[in-house]
Amino acid sequence: MEDLGKKVLAGDVRSASRLIRNVEDNIAGTKMSLKHIFPHTGNAHVIGITGAPGAGKSTLTDELISAIRKRDKTVGVLAVDPTSPFTGGAILGDRIRMIRHADDPGVFVRSMATRGSMGGLSKAVGDGIHVLDAMGKDYIIVETVGVGQQEVEIINHAHTVMVVQVPGMGDEIQAIKAGLMEIADLFVVNKSDREGAQKLFREILTMLNMSKFPDGWRPPVLKVGSSQEPHSVC
């Protein structure tokens, strides 16, 4: 297992995939590999992307990968997909959306199953982040499976948390008024060309106006649409 850790530190993609798989499957000896690589972690910036199912998280992740690569930085992605009821593995929907990056050696995309976790993430995600960090990735994006009000575990893993909302999904403000409101470093109103986007945008701003920010950071709000440039209002 120590050899596996050494290969991960050398940036070997196959070894990284194998170690993440071993973490998910609780293979004996995996902890030793993680201990071997852990002193080499802590260099990557971790971005968490969360929000309701269907909010467009995978599309935004795909575009974010492109933006990072244009800066000549490497990126690893852990896309947390729903667990298959038959195999227990991930349903690979997110990786399909990011297929255009498949041949880019500076991009590593790995799906991970929720494995019944109630927090939008599996217990193995934290170790998966360490693996990608030890590989030398500059940025690590963790896309959650799609969460509700109390499923906010991403804050325990990410330096920056992006909460994605989309109009037309019922009582939009109800979906963000609990835990997600507190964990967000950035709000994105996606598909802003849809009816109701401006209303959702104003509601988020209203909630921010009623909130306190003890650390001094007020989360900006971005409107993103397919036919317009993103812009922000704080």
Assess contact for 160 and 185: CB atoms under 8 A.
yes
Name all domains of the chain by residue range, CATH numbers in brackets.
2-233 (3.40.50.300)
In tens digits, the chain (234 residues) has pLDDT values of 568 999 999 999 999 999 999 998 889 889 999 999 999 999 999 999 988 878 888 889 999 999 999 999 999 999 886 544 334 444 444 455 567 787 899 999 988 876 544 444 667 899 999 999 999 999 999 998 765 544 578 888 999 999 998 887 655 555 555 566 778 999 999 999 889 899 999 988 988 888 888 888 999 999 998 754 445 444
Query: Helical H runs in 136-218?
Result: 172-176, 179-183, 197-209
Q: Where in the chain does DSSP place strands (E)?
A: 45-51, 75-81, 107-113, 139-143, 160-165, 186-190, 221-225, 228-233
Assess contact for 73 and 139: CB atoms under 8 A.
yes
pTM for this entry: 0.85
